[in-house]
Structure 1
Amino acid sequence: MSTYRLSLIATLIVLMVSLSDQNCVAQKKKVPASQAFHWVNPLPERLQSERLEHSTFVSPSMQREVGYCIYLPAAYSESQQSEKRFPVVYYLHGGRPGSELKSIGLVPLIDQHISSGNVAPMIYVFVNGGPVSHYNMPDREQAMGEDVFIKELIPHIDGKYRTIASREGRGLEGFSQGGRGTTRIMFKHPELFISTAPGGGGYETEKKISENDGYENPYLRFAPGYNTWDLAREYAKSLEPKLNIQIHVGTKGFNYENNLAYMEFLDSLKIPYSKVIVPEAPHSAKIIYEKQGLELMKFHEKNFTDAHNAQ
Structure 2
Amino acid sequence: MHTARAFRPLKFLALFLASLFGLCVSIPGWAFQTRVVSIPSAAMHRAFGATVVLPDDYARSSGATRYPVIYVLHGSGGNHADWTSNTRIGKLADRYHVMLVMPDGGRESWYIDSPFDPASRYETYVGTEVVSYIDAHFRTLASRERRAITGLSMGGFGALRIALDHQETFGAAGSISGAVDPRNCDDEPGIERVFGDPARHADFWTRNAIVEGASSFEHAHIALTIDCGVSDYFVQSNRVLHDKLIALGVPHDYVERPGGHTWSYWSNAIRYQVLFFATAFRHDGWRPFAQKA
TM-based fold match above 0.5:
yes
5 Å-filtered alignment, 1:89-128, equals 89-96=70-77, 99-105=79-85, 108=88, 110-115=89-94, 119-128=95-104
- Which amino acid is 1:248 matched to? D
Secondary structure of 2:231's aligned partner: coil
5 Å-filtered alignment, 1:200-239, equals 200-206=177-183, 217=198, 222=204, 225-236=207-218, 239=219
Residue matched to 1:247: 226
Q: Is residue 138 from structure 1 mapped to residue 118 from structure 2 by the alignment?
A: no
CA contact (8 A) 1:135 1:181 kept: yes
CA contact (8 A) 1:88 1:171 kept: yes
Q: Is residue 275 from structure 1 mapped to residue 248 from structure 2 by the alignment?
A: no
Choose from 264, 268, 272 the match for 2:243.
264
Unaligned runs of 5+ in 2: 1-30, 187-194, 288-293
Q: What TM-score comes out, normalization by structure 1 length?
A: 0.70
CA contact (8 A) 1:71 1:125 kept: yes
Deviations 1:181-235 (A, max 9, x none): 11212222222212211111123435799xxxx7663587747733313433344
CA contact (8 A) 2:73 2:150 kept: yes
- Which amino acid is 2:261 matched to? H
CA-CA distance at 1:114 after TM superposition: 4.5
Cα distance in structure 2, aligned partners of 1:192 and 1:245: 14
CA contact (8 A) 1:138 1:144 kept: no
Q: Is residue 60 from structure 1 mapped to residue 19 from structure 2 by the alignment?
A: no
- CA root-mean-square deviation: 2.8
Unaligned runs of 5+ in 1: 1-48
Q: What TM-score comes out, normalization by structure 2 length?
A: 0.74
- Which amino acid is 2:67 matched to? F
Cα distance in structure 2, aligned partners of 1:147 and 1:309: 24
Secondary structure of 1:248's aligned partner: strand
Secondary structure of 2:236's aligned partner: helix
CA-CA distance at 1:113 after TM superposition: 4.1
Cα distance in structure 2, aligned partners of 1:100 and 1:178: 11
Query: Considering only CA atoms, is the larger Rg found in Structure 1 or Structure 2?
Result: 1
CA-CA distance at 1:121 after TM superposition: 1.0
Cα distance in structure 2, aligned partners of 1:263 and 1:186: 17
CA-CA distance at 1:148 after TM superposition: 1.0
Deviations 1:1-52 (A, max 9, x none): xxxxxxxxxxxxxxxxxxxxxxxxxxxxxxxxxxxxxxxxxxxxxxxx9722
Q: Is residue 296 from structure 1 mapped to residue 273 from structure 2 by the alignment?
A: yes
Q: Is residue 74 from structure 1 mapped to residue 56 from structure 2 by the alignment?
A: yes
CA contact (8 A) 1:91 1:124 kept: yes
- Which amino acid is 2:104 matched to? N
How many aligned residue pairs are there?
A: 247
Secondary structure of 2:250's aligned partner: coil
Q: Which runs of 4+ in 1 moved over 6 A?
A: none
Cα distance in structure 1, aligned partners of 2:227 and 2:128: 27
Cα distance in structure 2, aligned partners of 1:157 and 1:135: 20
CA contact (8 A) 2:152 2:176 kept: yes
Change over 3 Å in CA distance of 1:139–1:114 after alignment to 2? closer
Cα distance in structure 1, aligned partners of 2:36 and 2:179: 29
CA-CA distance at 1:250 after TM superposition: 1.2
